[in-house]
Chain A
Amino acid sequence: GAVVSQHPSRVICKSGTSVKIECRSLDFQATTMFWYRQFPKQSLMLMATSNEGSKATYEQGVEKDKFLINHASLTLSTLTVTSAHPEDSSFYICSATSGGALSSYNEQFFGPGTRLTVL
């Protein structure tokens, strides 16, 4: 099956710093990647949709200047949390779809998540 990795799996940073999270599709080309945020004991909330080579589409209420998304290649998308604050502490999960043979009915493949803690 399709594999999506995330790096790092866990990061602790000081308030005001920026943190970059990588999402990679390991064995398929991901035309579209998605970023989700999950607070403790809550569901996944879609933050943005990114297509390779174009600007990301952000969900309502998500600050595009704070959460910078770059999808520079068909296997890599990055999420940068700029000037992170304690309220940004969360579990960030990416997913990817190829939109092709691997993906029937828009099946997505999820990364293992990144736990961000901002002190």
Chain B
Amino acid sequence: SQQGEEDPQALSIQEGENATMNCSYKTSINNLQWYRQNSGRGLVHLILIRSNEREKHSGRLRVTLDTSKKSSSLLITASRAADTASYFCATPQGTGGFKTIFGAGTRLFVKA
């Protein structure tokens, strides 16, 4: 079963605008990861944020984590057409946290 719910399910913006995607999860976690997937391709790991971190940056990406609300957000600043992809949050589950469960994903479309 899927752990995370993401919103919006789809997002269409103009190049240069910022894109914010949200993810909620149900159980306690020790980290949360964000991935990008271009259409029909494999996953690209974007960023991992640990449960003791509240915010993390990587280039144009900013991820926040609120463990009290069991939610995370991914902000892409100054978006580009090449950012068009699906974005998934993922959390570890199971004994030892070895299984990774993915959220439903947000499909981002950046118009040039």
Instruction: Choose one: A46, A105, A107, A112; the contact of B45 (CB below 8 Å).
Output: A107
How many chain B residues sit at the interface, stated as a range, is 20 to 34
A67 interface residue per 8 A CB criterion:
no
Interface residues of B in 75-100 (CB under 8 A from A): 88, 92, 94, 96-100
Which residues on the B side are within 8 Å of A36 (C-beta)?
A: 102
B residues within 8 A CB of A45? 2, 102
Q: How many A-B residue pairs have CB under 8 A?
A: 61
The answer, yes or no, to whether A54 is at the interface (CB within 8 Å) is: no
B-facing residues in A81-108 (Cβ within 8 Å): 91, 93, 95, 97, 99, 105-108
| Docked-complex contact B98 and A107, CB < 8 angstroms | no
**Which residues on A sit within 8 Å (CB–CB) of B97?**
105-106
* Beyond A45-B102, A105-B48, 20 extra complex contacts between A and B, CB < 8 Å: A34-B99, A42-B104, A42-B105, A43-B88, A43-B105, A45-B2, A46-B99, A46-B100, A49-B94, A49-B98, A93-B43, A105-B92, A105-B97, A106-B31, A107-B48, A110-B35, A110-B42, A110-B45, A112-B42, A113-B40
For A6, the closest partner residue in chain B by CB is B42
**B36-60 interface bits toward A, Cβ cutoff 8 Å, 1 = contact, 0 = none:** 0000111101001010000000000
What residue in chain A is nearest B94 (Cβ atoms)? A49
A34 to B101, CA, bound (A): 11
Q: Is A112 a contact of B40 with CB atoms below 8 Å?
A: no
Which residues in window 8-48 of B have CB below 8 A to A? 30-31, 33, 35, 40-43, 45, 48
Whether a CB of chain B sits under 8 angstroms from the CB of A75 is no
* Contact in complex: A105, B31 (CB < 8 Å): yes
A41-B107 contact given A91-B40, A95-B100, CB 8 Å threshold: yes
**A44–B88 contact, CB under 8 A?**
yes
| Complexed CA–CA distance, A115 and B42 (Å) | 11
In chain A between 1 and 50, which residues have their CB closer than 8 angstroms to a CB of chain B? Answer: 32, 34, 36, 41-46, 49
